[in-house]
Amino acid sequence: MEMLTTPSRSIVFYATDDYSDSIHLDKALEPTTLLAVRMNGATLPQNHGFPVRMLVPGIYGMKHCKWLTRIQVVTQDYQGYWQMRGWSDPAPIRMTARIDTPLIGSTVSVNKTTYIGGVAFSGNKGISEVDISLDGGDSWQIATLKRPLSNLTWVLWEYPWQPTSSGSKTLIARAIDMEGNVQDPQVEPPAPDGSSGYYTITVSVV
Same-domain status, 181 and 109: yes
Pick the closest to residue 95 from 200, 199, 202 (CA basis): 199
* Domain extent for 121: 96-205
Confidence of residue 9 (pLDDT cuts 50, 70, 90): confident
Please tell me the distance from the alpha carbon of residue 151 to that of residue 95, in angstroms, as a whole number: 13
Please tell me the distance from the alpha carbon of residue 27 to that of residue 29, in angstroms, as a whole number: 5
Global pTM reads: 0.88
Same-domain status, 60 and 105: no
Please tell me the distance from the alpha carbon of residue 79 to that of residue 56, in angstroms, as a whole number: 17
Percentage of residues in the chain having pLDDT higher than 70: 96
The predicted model gives 7-32 an average pLDDT of: 92
Same-domain status, 196 and 101: yes
pLDDT of 39 higher than 60: yes
DSSP letter for 201, please. Answer: E
Taking only the tens place, the pLDDT of each residue in 84-94 is 999 999 999 99
Instruction: Give the largest Cα separation in the chain, rounded.
Output: 69
The predicted model gives 106-120 an average pLDDT of: 98
Please tell me the distance from the alpha carbon of residue 129 to that of residue 92, in angstroms, as a whole number: 20
Residues 96 and 130: beta-carbon distance below 8 Å? no
The predicted model gives 122-140 an average pLDDT of: 96
DSSP for 55-84 reads: E-TTB-GGGS--SEEEEEEESS----TTGG
Same-domain status, 154 and 176: yes
**CA atoms within a 13 Å half-sphere pointing along the CA-CB vector of 15:** 23
Same-domain status, 192 and 102: yes
Pick the closest to residue 18 from 68, 54, 62 (CA basis): 68
The predicted model gives 28-40 an average pLDDT of: 96
Please tell me the distance from the alpha carbon of residue 68 to that of residue 139, in angstroms, as a whole number: 49
Same-domain status, 36 and 120: no
Among 38, 53, 85, which residue terminates a domain? Answer: 85
Residue 49 phi, psi dihedral angles, 5° rounding? 120, 15
Taking only the tens place, the pLDDT of each residue in 140-150 is 999 999 999 99
The total number of structural domains in the chain stands at 2
Confidence of residue 8 (pLDDT cuts 50, 70, 90): low
